[in-house]
Structure 1
Amino acid sequence: MKLTLSALLITGGLAVTSLASATTATFQLCSTAGCRTGGSQTVTSTYAQTKYPIVFANGMGGFSSIAGIYNYWYGIPENLTANGASVFVSQEASFNSSEVRGEQLLNQVQQILAITGAAKVNLIGHSHGGPSVRYVAGLLPTKVASVTAVAGVTFGSPVADTVQSLVNSPVGPILAPVISAGVNAFFTIVGVSSGQYYSQDSLAGLSSLTSKGSAAFNAKFPQGVPTNQCDQGAAVANGIRYYSWGGTAVWTNVLNPADYLVGATSLLIPGASDGLVPRCSSHLGQVIRDDYYQNHFDEVNQVAGLISPFTTSPVTLFRLQANRLKTAGL
């Protein structure tokens, strides 16, 4: 078969164009300072070519791309771009309240709408990025086509509850300011290295992810939130489609240092979890699946793609979601 044929080749269930007709596209890294090119990809498929741009929102402790080299969404924007999607990786403060981070994302979404001329965006948030995308959808519903929460902390995390109880203990006023100052300083450096200069507030971020903080946020932004934690929420609210998925594994790859962190934090969570977020707490809107063999870091292909070799690749899950949005006309 000659590469000059313009016919489509069907490979692994994906429609892939011939190399002769391939084009080049870039995904964008954004912050309040604007958007810059994150990297160029050869586009050989329209499988993930959604009607509206896809915008990613990072979780707690996250970033967009450190020094333009290491991406929080490891390998995911590149794959979606290669499959035809228009992708923007936003940057929120690594640590701050759900409302502050949501407002930061809102500002970037407005920039992206202006840059692209698109009528709407598809929002995808991981972990604390789940409340961020819900905040934007709540305040700017006519400009959001869909919201997808990946291990979003809809109902909070017992890990945050435990740490908050330590902050509120007699030793809290002594230790909390010292520890939080160190965390804030470190992630200020991480933020600067990824091109943003947000102030960090780890205590505000912690409070937002407690059960109490999440309940208060849900009262303000109830769209897609299940009435009962382990149920599904409304698939469509205010004309916006809501989706979610999550994992229930902890130890998935002994070579991944993040496994040891979630291995410890998982001990604070009764029942199934991804090591940081309980299974049912990840539910929002249409629950695609809540028991992937992935932990909280695996869900965004961290660290450096060191996930279990026996599970579905998170890159594949995001590509499937993009195709799901495309099929829905989004």
Structure 2
Amino acid sequence: MLLNATTNHPILLVHGLFGFERIGPFELFHDVKQALKAAGAQVFVPHLSAIHDNEIRGEQLLLQIDTVLRGTGATKVNLIGHSQGALAARYAAALAPHNVASVTSVSGPNHGSELADFLRKALVPGRLPEVVAQNVATRFADFLSLLSGQKALPHRALAALGALTTEGVGNFNDKYPQGLPEVWGGHGAEWVNGVRYFSWSGVVPQFEGPSLDPVQSICRALSEYFITELAQNDGLVGRFSSHLGTVIRSDYSLDHLHTLRRASGQPAMADDAISLYVEHALRLQAADL
């Protein structure tokens, strides 16, 4: 039996760092988008800079929200942002709440990333490693844009990294605090300026032995660089750092990248990321969003 998860407003899936809509036959949000469409939702994936700061990506998102509204005749959109995409979604909702029905943060670094802090400290400003890292990351992002065949957008690797550190996101939060918890690890306001805020995230699955999924192995290795949220992170973002608005759950057994897709060789009883998006569309539907 097919679910009816048709929402009042279109859903925009907003990608994070090094994200894209499509490269050849491969779509970043393919499984998520297909599952939502099969459930009756109207879904779009905006084209944003693969690497840049939160405000620049947020401005790009605002332009594409306008395009979707004009093209569909809708009055508002539901934004679901993965990783840094959550910060772009928050920016858009803060500046144009009349165009946004809801913001959902999925594995969003809403209080910064300890991994970004570690990387920023490792790259001494002006020294060769920083210059090399910036050039490599920026050229890789330019290459992704070329492969995607879409309009080239600006890329700034160090701006993106700085925007994801605890300090960088702290500065962002001072300007755009909508939906943030007042207590560490708590829930934030459900409604702000007519926009409904939600979040969910996971932690790196705990099991003995090596993982058969290379992405999961990478996230497990990166998770060891966390101090404040050691064993309570998804490899890139800490569990409590991800909290925003109504926290649906922040300890799904899912690493950062597997909140976008199913893990290969996934156990039958493991959390299913794709189902979470469909469940959330039903939640939006129930809330008349």
What TM-score, normalized to structure 2? 0.93
What residue is the counterpart of 2:212 in the other structure? 255
Structure 2 CA distance for partners of 1:84 and 1:262, relative to 1, 3 Å: same
* Cα drift, residue 112 of structure 1: 0.5
Trace 1:226-241 onto structure 2 (pairs within 5 A): 226-241=181-196
Per-residue deviation, 1:113:
0.6
1 CA distance for matches of 2:162 and 2:265? 30
Q: Distance in 1 between matches of 2:206 and 2:52?
A: 28
Instruction: Give unmatched runs, 5+ long, in structure 2.
Output: none
Give distance in 2, aligned partners of 1:277 and 1:176.
22
Distance change (3 Å), C-alpha of 1:251 and 1:198: farther
Q: Partner residue of 2:6?
A: 49
Q: 2:103 aligns with which of 117, 136, 147?
A: 147
Which residue of 50, 53, 57 corresponds with 1:97?
Answer: 53
Where in structure 2 are the equivalents of 1:272-311 lying within 5 Å? 272-301=232-261, 305-306=263-264, 308-309=266-267, 310-311=269-270
Indicate the larger mover: 252-261 or 144-153. Answer: 252-261
Which residue identity lines up with residue 325 of structure 1 in the other structure? L
Q: Structure 2: which amino acid aligns with 1:262?
A: C
CA contact (8 A) 2:86 2:108 kept: yes
Aligned to 1:190: 144
Letter of the aligned partner of 1:230 in structure 2? Answer: G
- For 2:47 and 2:242, locate their aligned partners in 1 and report how far apart those are by CA, in whole Å: 21
What SS is found at the alignment partner of 1:138? helix
Q: Any conservation in 2 of the 1:294–1:308 contact (CA below 8 Å)?
A: no
**Aligned pair 1:111/2:67, yes or no?**
yes
Q: Which residue of 2 aligns with 1:206?
A: 161
Report the AA paired with residue 322 of structure 1.
Answer: A
Q: Which has the larger radius of gyration?
A: 1
Which residue matches 1:58? 15
Question: Is 1:82 paired with 2:42?
Answer: no
Q: Counterpart of 2:30 in 1: which secondary structure? A: coil
Q: Deviations over 1:261-315 (max 9, x none)?
A: 212211111321001100101100000000000000100016xx52732322111
Q: Distance in 2 between matches of 1:306 and 1:240?
A: 36
2:132 corresponds in structure 1 to 178
Larger strand fraction of residues: 1
Provide the secondary structure at the position in 2 that maps to 1:217.
helix
Superposition RMSD in Å: 1.6
2:282 equivalent to 1:328: no
For the 8 Å contact 1:105–1:133, the answer to whether it is kept is yes
Identity of counterpart residues, as a percentage? 37
Question: 8 Å contact 1:246–1:291 — kept in the other structure?
Answer: yes
Please tell me the residue identity of whatever aligns with 2:288.
Answer: G
Indicate whether 1:315 and 2:274 are aligned.
yes
Moved more, 178-187 or 144-153: 178-187
Q: Distance in 1 between matches of 2:265 and 2:52?
A: 28
Is residue 204–residue 219 contact of structure 2 (8 Å, CA) maintained in 1? no
Deviates more, 1:120-129 or 1:70-79: 70-79
Conservation of the 8 A alpha-carbon contact between 1:294 and 1:307: no
Q: Structure 2: how far apart are the matches of 1:138 and 1:72?
A: 26
| Equivalent pair of 2:204/2:220 in contact (CA under 8 Å) | no
Between the aligned partners of 1:239 and 1:298, the Cα distance in structure 2 is: 31
Greater RCO structure (CA 8 Å; 6+ sep): 2
Aligned length: 282
- When residues 105 and 83 of structure 1 are mapped into structure 2, their CA distance, relative to the original with a 3 A threshold, is same
Give CA-to-partner distance per residue, 1:151-174, whole Å, 9 cap, x none: 1100001110011112236xx521
Secondary structure (helix, strand or coil) at the match of 2:50 reads coil
Distance 1:127 1:325, change over 3 A: same
Q: Which residue of 1 aligns with 2:81?
A: 125
Aligned to 1:145, the other structure's residue is in SS state strand
Structure 1 residues 213 and 74 mapped into 2: Cα distance closer, same or farther (>3 Å)? same
The structure where helix makes up a greater share of residues is 2
| Counterpart for residue 70 of structure 1 | 26
**Shift of the alpha carbon at 1:251?**
6.2
- Give the SS at the match of 1:75: helix
